[in-house]
Amino acid sequence: MKERIREVEERLQKPKKNSKAAIKAILLAAFIIVTIFLIRYTSIKNYLTVEEMSRFLETAGLWAPVVYMMIYTVGICLFLPGTLLTGLGAAIFGAYWGFVYVWIGAMIGSSAAFFIGRTLGREFAASLIGGKLKKYDDAIERNGFATVLYLRLVYFPFTPMNFGMGLTKVRFRDYVAGTGLGIIVGTFIFTFFIGTLKDVWASGNWGELISFKVFFSIGLFIFSFFIPKIIKKIKGEK
């Protein structure tokens, strides 16, 4: 008798849960649509240049790195391209400090986007998962760190992955660890390349273009395009 009562209660609660999950999913979709519209079709994009960002960060003084990391965090959640934000950081702060600030900003931003996806979309995604999809979802939970690390190393689109992983069963600690380790190489290569060219431009000494540091940064940048193929080949051999 008690089991039947529980079944009835679960059946009555299920429609409520489904409707609540659907509302959250609609809010997530609305959030994505609105943010993309704001970035692409409003004057916000006019401020996303090295000149405008540098001018704005100059007013922050010693707090400029913190302000930049906050901008990076919000930018990731607003679907700004990670390469744009990374390039701005490298151009403004240089190769080395730029790398530090970019990495921290990317970690905070990716974590925030993950929580948005997990909070607003996970329940609805779970209600749609069944059969084969559930097996993949369970596999991601078991191998969360390896999955996230691999996708980061092969340069899977950064922002969509942040939100998308929130829809899966991957543990947050696995997601953070995989992301933190997986973006280090690509982030350093890109910031080192942009930062090096920025230093040459700022110095006005074009003779520095023919230097070990410049050629090394160019070599690293070119090598970065082959990283996904190398990782896929290694994974395929295993």
Q: What is the pTM of this model?
A: 0.77
Angle at which helix 2-41 crosses helix 95-128, to 10 degrees, equals 140
Q: What is the mean pLDDT of each run of 10 residues along the chain (238 residues)?
A: 49 57 77 76 72 83 92 88 87 90 95 89 66 71 88 86 88 93 88 82 65 71 74 64
Contact between 85 and 76 under an 8 Å Cβ cutoff? The reply is yes
Q: Which two tokens stand for residue 198?
A: 């920025």
The residue count for the chain: 238
Dihedral angle, C-alpha 107, 44, 83, 206, nearest 10 °: -120
Predicted confidence at residue 97, as pLDDT, reads 93
Q: Which two tokens stand for residue 122?
A: 């996970």
Predicted confidence at residue 204, as pLDDT, reads 66
Predicted confidence at residue 140, as pLDDT, reads 81
Return the exposure string of 120-158: e unless at least 16 CB atoms fall within 10 Å of the residue's CB, then b: bbbbbbbeebeeeeeeebeebeeebbebbbbbbbbbeeb
Predicted confidence at residue 59, as pLDDT, reads 87
Predicted confidence at residue 10, as pLDDT, reads 46
Predicted confidence at residue 211, as pLDDT, reads 66
Predicted confidence at residue 104, as pLDDT, reads 96
Residue 62 CB neighbours (<10 A)? 6
